[in-house]
Amino acid sequence: MRFVDEARITVRSGHGGNGCVSFRREAHVPKGGPNGGDGGKGGDVVFRASSKLLTLYDFRLKRLYEAKNGQPGMGSQCCGRNAEDLIIEVPVGTMLFEADEEGGERLVADLAVDGQEVAVCKGGRGGFGNEHFKTSTMRTPRFAQPGGEGEEKSLRLELKILADAGLLGLPNAGKSTFISAISAARPKIAPYPFTTLTPNLGVLIDDIGEHFVVADIPGLIEGAHEGQGLGHRFLKHVERTRFLVHILSAEDIDVENPWAGFDLLNEELARYAEELAARHQVQVINKIDLIDEDALAELRRRAKADGRSIFFISALGGVGVEALVKEMWRLYHGGDPR
């Protein structure tokens, strides 16, 4: 199924059922009086977060969601049936936006917890039957109350992935290879940039069954904060990660300024949202199997001299991966950033 992280839909709650105008009619009971029942309530439109869903793809196929109307009241004081609420399940991390009066948008709900629910449109109330309007001076009311109207809203759905760790890096840094090496995720892998066009999720599980989620964010480039490359479309997925694993390919390192790749993306993060630049990062140099031993030794020396704690790995060959995963588990359990 194709990954979709934005959609626009219209939702409508149900109308309330009309109250009934009815009079008791039985043999030997003259002037039995009004006995019209109330109408039923219309169904609400309720959004529910579900961890079983990962994309908003279905909302590109269906754009209108309508709850059912309440049933009208009947004679003999029989009330109409209330309509069931319309439950719309969305992935955990879905945000609901509605247009405001000033031409912008307001946040209606942020469904960040599995099972969290919010009623976006309330169903119309059921109308009173004529038995409610009987008084000492009005013994035969020949009217009933109509059911209340439902609500209609146009919403924009936006999904921000919820993950414990986010993999960040320039295109072709080897993030997809790394996530496939540490989890069961199988993203597309090829020796050219932008092979990953949608975020991929991997799950790490330890010996006692505890797990945490890693998100492979598609490669970013200079100008991403302005929408260049994949731009804002995927920068937003970094916002909800607890920490970042910033991967740089050894092939892309300039010996004169070896950490330029890290600095470039960190600047993009800061321009997009300063709190992202301040989030803890584990810096990684991947593909060390593609450079000679002297160049690798020089990079290690420069990192130590510059006070940088950098993990040197080959995701393809498995070199250094175990130590990096151990550090990720340590941070997941609340270890102090190094």
171 marked ligand binding residue: yes
Nearest to 199 by CA among 245, 255, 237, 244: 237
CA-wise closest residue to 15 among 145, 210, 135 = 145
Residue 52 among known ligand-binding residues: no
3-state secondary structure of 226: helix
Residue 289 annotated as part of some ligand binding site: yes
Task: Read off the tokens for 104.
Answer: 């912008």
241 is an annotated ligand-binding site residue: no
Known binding residue 140? Answer is no
- Ligand-binding annotation for 159, yes or no, is no
- Measured over the CA atoms of residue 191, residue 166, residue 321 and residue 287, the dihedral's sign is positive
Is 194 annotated as contributing to ligand binding? yes
Q: Tell me: is residue 198 an annotated ligand-binding position.
A: yes
- 174 appears as a binding residue in the annotation: yes
- Residue 78 has which token pair? 């029989």
DSSP letter, residue 44: P
- Would the annotation count 216 as a binding residue? yes
CA 245 to chain centre: 21
86 is in an annotated binding site: no
Tell me whether residue 76 is annotated as binding: no
The residue behind tokens 């961890």 is 51
The annotation status of 82 as a binding-site residue, yes or no, is no
Q: Is 200 annotated as a binding residue?
A: no
Q: Check whether 187 is labelled as a binding-site residue.
A: no
Task: Consult the annotation and say whether 107 binds a ligand.
Answer: no
Query: Is 196 labelled as part of a ligand binding site?
Result: yes
126 marked ligand binding residue: no
Residues 6+ apart with CB under 8 A from 125: 16, 41, 42, 147, 148
CA distance between the termini of the chain: 39
170 is in an annotated binding site: yes
195 is in an annotated binding site: yes
- 288 in a labelled binding site: yes
197 is in an annotated binding site: yes
Instruction: Please tell me whether 292 is known to bind a ligand.
Output: no
What are the binding residues?
A: 169-176, 194-198, 216-219, 286-289, 314-316
What are the binding residues for Mg(2+)?
A: 176, 196
What are the binding residues for GTP?
A: 169-176, 194-198, 216-219, 286-289, 314-316
